[in-house]
Each structure stands twice: as structure tokens, then as C-alpha cells.
Amino acid sequence: MEGDGKLEAQIENLLNVEKQMRQAGDVAGTRKAATDILQLCFEARAWNTLNEQIVLLSKRRGQLKQAVQAMVQQAMQYIDQTPDLDTKIDLIKTLNNVSAGKIYVEIERARLIKKLAKINEEQGKIAEAADLMQEVAVETFGAMAKTEKIAFILEQVRLCLDRQDYVRAQILSRKINPKVFEADPSKEKKKPKEGENVVEEPAADIPSLLELKQIYYQLMIRYNSHSNDYLEICRCYKAIYEIPSVKEDPAQWIPVLRKICWYLVLSPHDPMQSSLHNSTLEDKNLSEIPHFRLLLKQLITMEVIQWTALWNTFKDEFENEKNMPGGTLGDKAAEDLRLRVIEHNILVVSKYYSRITLKRLADLLCLSIQEAEKHLSEMVVSKALVAKIDRPMGVVCFQPAKDSNDILNSWAFNLEKLLDLVEKSCHQIHKETMVHKAALKA
């Protein structure tokens, strides 16, 4: 009791000093008096008194911004030294309420909310943690360091993915432009001009820009895995593969390159997939995993692939992916791989045949006639190829229908070629005749 009375007397004295300094407009004096009060409460381990004094000092008439900022920053140092979790949460909530709506302590408030969200997550309250994090729009904070902003948004995305809120996760992820990871941090440290916001140093636990790049693409892989967007997943792995720290360590880049190969094969055929396919085949590191080089080669070669032979060759590698970093390729991956092989085979057939019977097509694809027709129809609908099926005759025509102008142009071109050949033949005959006559005269 005597100790409590002594503490109250000391606080009362400092409150009077703080009042005099505040009314005199002495920034340094007010700041010192306010922080001294908090220090006294902390040393006495009077946590309830500390919370009360923070609220009291922040609400005093004409309180200076610098004093409130110093007070919040000072109290934040005490959070990790609290005796129990309830005291910690009370202190964070008090500081959060004090800093709410004050632009000069917006960075401190963001850090407080991140701590509170982490506590909620540890208690299994994922939805509450995600809602808390979404209250803060760090992209508008001019004084916050770029890496800290990115780390905060990535944390928001991660919590949304954990609660399976994929729509909000996508909206939040779009706040980060992937080009920001390509910037050279050494060139960006410029002295701020007069009138500009001074950018604060990021917190000690914030990862570097390249580490954030890896986290960003890993989260994007999680998001795209939900919709089985194989090409986007492949592009994410490609971006991770290009990170210098990954490319220098075979233990890291071999699993990533394996994933790139699998997701390339699983992606539907389009120009972007074809471009990535060719660039991956040119990668020298692919020689370290020859099985995957063979897989990519098979799917780029214009030859019909036997599904059973392909699956028997690569089944062990496919099932081994669940033991590799990044986990399995997805529940539908084996089914989708078979579908890609069928699509590849139909494209090969369309290159070599202008007309083919459905029965022969089904034999080449090792499918029933109904299945072959179904897959062919799906490819025509998705505009992967042009084809027409004459069902009564059971014939597939892969030639696109020509309009009258195209037909006339082809006729004109053929006639021109014919006349050109006739002219060349006449010239050769005339030449041979002249040579023969000259020989006779001699």
C-alpha cells in the first residue's frame, strides 16, 4: 500500500510537470514527462496504472502529437515484457485505441494490430485475426518502409487463404505489383527532399525484398492451386526459380524445376504455355533431371503418345512429388495429365490428316468413339483447333471452311504458278533447240 501511495505521488508530480510543459509548448519537456510516467509504472509493474496513464495523457487538453507518439513508442517496448497474455492483450488494445485515427502513429498502430492478430491466430481464431488485419490499409502509409508494407499485405493475404476467403485474398494480392521485387534496393536509398515524408526503417523482424518475393509467389501458388490454374502456378515457380539464392543451391532449385516441368505439362496448350515450354527446354540445369527433359520433349514432338507407356514411365516420379518441397500436384493432376496427352494427340492428328474417320481417330487415341468425339468437341469449343464432324458418315474434317475470296485467291495463285512453269519449260525447250542447232552447224 505504501509503495502504491509513493507511485501515485510521483505520478502526480510528473503530471503537474507535464501540464506546465504542455501549456508552455515545450515539446521535449512534455515528451520526457510523459515517458517518465510510463517508465515509473513499468518499473513498479503496475500494468493497470500504466494503461490508465496512457489513456489519461493522450486525452489531455491540447496534448502535443510528439508526446503521444513518444508515449506509444515507449509503451510498445513493454509489450514483450508483460507477465501474462491477458496483460499483454490489454496493453495492446489500450495502445490501439489511443493510436486509432491519428495519422502520426499509423505505423505503430499497424504493428500493434499485427501483434494482436498473431495472438488471435495462435489461439485458433483465424477469422478474427484476418478481420483485424484487414482494418489497416498500409498501402496509403507514406512513412512506412516498402518492405514492411509488402510484408503486412502478404500477412493479410496469408490469413485470408487460411480462412479460405479466396476472393479477398486475390483483391489484397493485387495491391502488390510483382515488378517491385525486381527493384535494386541499393539504388533506392535517397535522401528525402524538403517537404517529403521521411521513410522509417522497417521493424527488425521484416524479411528482405528477395525473401518477400519468395513468400509472395508461394502464397500465389496456394491461391492458384485452389482453382487448378496450372499455368499461373508454373509461372510462380518460374519466378521462385529465378531468385539468386534458390538458383545457387541445387537442393532448392531441383524441386522447383521439377514442379515447373510438371505444371507445364499439366497446363492447357496456348501461346504462353508453348513459350514457357521452349524456354524451359533450353535451360541447362534440366540435364540434371533427364527424366523431365524427356517428358517435355515428348509433349513438344509432333508424335502420338501412348498414355499407358507414358504413365508407366513417369508414375513413380509423379507420386514422389508429395515427398518433395511444395507437396502434391493436386487431386485432379493425374486425370488432367491424361487429358493433356489426349489433347496433344488430337493436335498431332490434325497436323497430319485433313480428313479422318472417327473410328480411326479413336484407335489412334486409344479411346472409345464416344470419348474421342467428346474430347474433340471440347477442343473445338475452346478454339484449340478447327474441326467439323460429319456424324452420319463418321468423318472428321480438320480443314477450316474457306470463304469465296480465299478460294478465288488460291485459284489465281495456282494459275500464276502454272503459267510460270509453262514459261520456264518453253524457255528450256528453246534453249535446248538453239544448242542442238549450233551443234549441227558445227
**pLDDT tens profile 335-375:** 888 888 888 888 888 888 888 888 888 888 888 888 888 88
Query: pTM score > 0.75 for this model?
Result: yes
Element containing residue 172 per DSSP (H, E): helix 166-173
Render pLDDT for 115-144 as a digit per residue (tens, 0 to 9).
888 888 888 888 888 888 888 888 887 778
3-state secondary structure of 84: coil
Is the pLDDT assigned to residue 385 strictly greater than 80?
A: yes
CA-based R_g, the chain, Å: 36
The answer for residues whose C-beta is within 8 angstroms of residue 40's C-beta and 6 or more apart is 7, 10, 11, 14
pLDDT of residue 5: 67
Q: How many helices (H) and strands (E) does the chain have?
A: 21, 3
CA separation, residue 230 to residues 112, 269, 299 (Å): 38, 11, 16
Is the pLDDT assigned to residue 59 strictly greater than 80?
A: yes
Is the pLDDT assigned to residue 194 strictly greater than 80?
A: no
| Ordered DSSP codes for 109-123 | HHHHHHHHHHHHHHT
Of 340, 315, 126, nearest to 348 by C-alpha is 340
The answer for residues whose C-beta is within 8 angstroms of residue 276's C-beta and 6 or more apart is 231, 234, 235, 238, 264, 267
Pinpoint the alpha helices (H) of 25-99.
Answer: 27-43, 47-58, 65-76, 85-99
- Sign of torsion, CA 88 89 90 91? positive
The mean pLDDT value of the chain amounts to: 82
Is the pLDDT assigned to residue 192 strictly greater than 60?
A: no
Tell me the backbone φ, ψ of residue 269, rounded to 5 degrees. Answer: -70, 125
Of 170, 114, 167, nearest to 141 by C-alpha is 114
Domain at 353-424: CATH code? 1.10.10.10
Phi-psi region of 328 (alpha: psi -120 to 50; beta: other; left: phi over 0): beta
pLDDT of residue 77: 85
User: At what angle are helices 333-352 and 250-266 packed, to 10 degrees?
Assistant: 60
Instruction: Assign 25 a pLDDT band (cuts: 50, 70, 90).
Output: confident
User: Is residue 20 a contact partner of residue 33, using CB atoms and an 8 Å limit?
Assistant: no
